């Protein structure tokens, strides 16, 4: 069903509220909300799916940056950010994200959508089946080389599927690096500052190289970055990230972990559904 700009603006503003809250609460960029919503908006406004997915990915990363900064500030005040890990994982992830976004620029959008959904679901399943550090008594890994070894390949994946990295980094930090869920969420929020910059630069460059127009049916573009959508999403998400981060520290670790898993499973499936071109009632 075609929609006009006013309808699109309202939808994106509301999505920004959910994005900000999820970012602060779960230590993710809100990609599982932003990307499906943007793809629907852009295709409803007349953009083809292949381009819509890539613009959604690029714009998502632009929104992640200020939202992550907002959430990281709140988590840091609570002592839930391991800044050394955030910097190492973030910088190596940013380098990988530039490579990943270049790969994405030459990959059909429907395959990116399916890959995005599968990556989220696999992360959720692994997080569900693994015993959390709170139960095993393991201490967080503090080896920068190990952080870098995880950060770079995960950065490539996040660049390919256009996310800030939190939706994959949090399960890795909990399962492989033995971070408690609150520490993983806080550190993930901080590292997304770096990965979002790397991925966004890649999407801008590759969008310009692909000849994306500066003005399109969905507004003004810089490569694969849609400026109007960015402003609408970021204007509400930055403030709500503070609320989400505050709420995260009020939830017990087990409860916060299950909320994270449920959201991942649902949104992962919705992106696979979009990529396959099917429509199911759930």
- Does residue 254 lie within any of the structural domains? yes
- Does residue 55 lie within any of the structural domains? yes
On whether the CB atoms of residues 120 and 261 are closer than 8 A, the answer is: no
- Does residue 213 lie within any of the structural domains? yes
φ and ψ of 219, to 5 deg: 125, -155
- Does residue 36 lie within any of the structural domains? yes
> Which burial class, exposed, middle or buried, applies to 133 when counting CB atoms under 10 A from its CB (0-12, 13-18, 19+)?
buried
- Does residue 281 lie within any of the structural domains? no
How does pLDDT run across 93-118, given as a tens digit for each residue? 889 888 888 887 788 877 877 877 88
Residue 220 pairs with which residues in a beta bridge? 215
Say how many domains are in the chain. 1
DSSP assignment of 160-193, as one string? HHT--SHHHHHHHHHHTS---HHHHHHHHHHHHH
Please give the mean pLDDT across all residues of the chain: 84
- Nearest CA among 220, 193, 29, 200 for reference residue 104: 200
- Does residue 70 lie within any of the structural domains? yes
Place of tokens 């390949």: 153
The helix (run of H) or strand (run of E) holding residue 217 is none
Q: How many residues does the chain have?
A: 282
- Does residue 282 lie within any of the structural domains? no
- Structure tokens that stand for 15 in this block: 């999505």
Is the C-alpha dihedral spanning 132, 262, 117, 93 positive or negative?
negative
Place of tokens 């429509």: 279
- Does residue 151 lie within any of the structural domains? yes
Domain around 195: 5-276
Question: Above 70 in pLDDT, residue 131?
Answer: no
Q: Residue 100's CB: how many other CB atoms inside 10 A?
A: 27
Lowest mean pLDDT across 19-23, 28-32, 68-72, 264-268:
28-32
Lowest mean pLDDT across 25-29, 48-52, 122-126, 176-180:
25-29
**What is the layout of strands, in order, in the sheet containing 225-226?**
215-216, 219-222, 225-226
On whether the CB atoms of residues 24 and 237 are closer than 8 A, the answer is: no
pLDDT mean over 171-179 = 86
């Amino acid at each position: 069903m075609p929609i006009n700009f006013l309808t699109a603006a309202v939808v994106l503003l509301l999505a920004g509220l959910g994005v900000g809250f999820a970012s602060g609460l779960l230590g993710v960029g809100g990609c599982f909300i932003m990307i499906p919503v943007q793809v629907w908006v852009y295709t409803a406004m007349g953009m083809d799916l292949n381009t819509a997915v890539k613009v959604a990915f690029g714009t998502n990363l632009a929104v992640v940056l200020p939202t992550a900064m907002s959430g990281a500030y709140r988590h840091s005040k609570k002592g839930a950010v391991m800044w050394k890990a955030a910097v190492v994982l973030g910088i190596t992830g940013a380098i990988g994200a530039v490579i990943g976004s270049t790969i994405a620029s030459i990959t059909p959008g429907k395959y990116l959508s399916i890959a995005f959904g599968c990556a989220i679901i696999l992360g959720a399943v692994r997080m569900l089946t693994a015993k959390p550090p709170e139960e095993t008594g393991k201490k967080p890994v503090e080896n920068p080389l190990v952080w870098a070894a995880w950060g770079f390949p995960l950065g490539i994946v996040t660049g390919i599927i256009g996310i800030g990295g939190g939706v994959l980094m949090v399960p890795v930090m909990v399962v492989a690096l033995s971070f408690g869920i609150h520490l993983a969420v806080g550190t993930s929020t901080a590292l997304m500052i770096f990965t979002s910059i790397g991925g966004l630069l890649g999407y801008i460059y590759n969008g310009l190289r692909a000849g994306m127009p500066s003005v399109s049916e969905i507004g003004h573009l810089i490569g694969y970055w849609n400026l109007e959508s960015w402003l609408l999403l970021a204007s509400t998400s930055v403030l709500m990230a503070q609320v989400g981060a505050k709420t995260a520290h009020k939830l017990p670790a087990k409860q916060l972990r299950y909320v994270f898993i449920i959201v991942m499973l649902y949104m992962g499936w919705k992106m696979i559904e979009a990529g396959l071109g099917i429509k199911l009632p759930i």
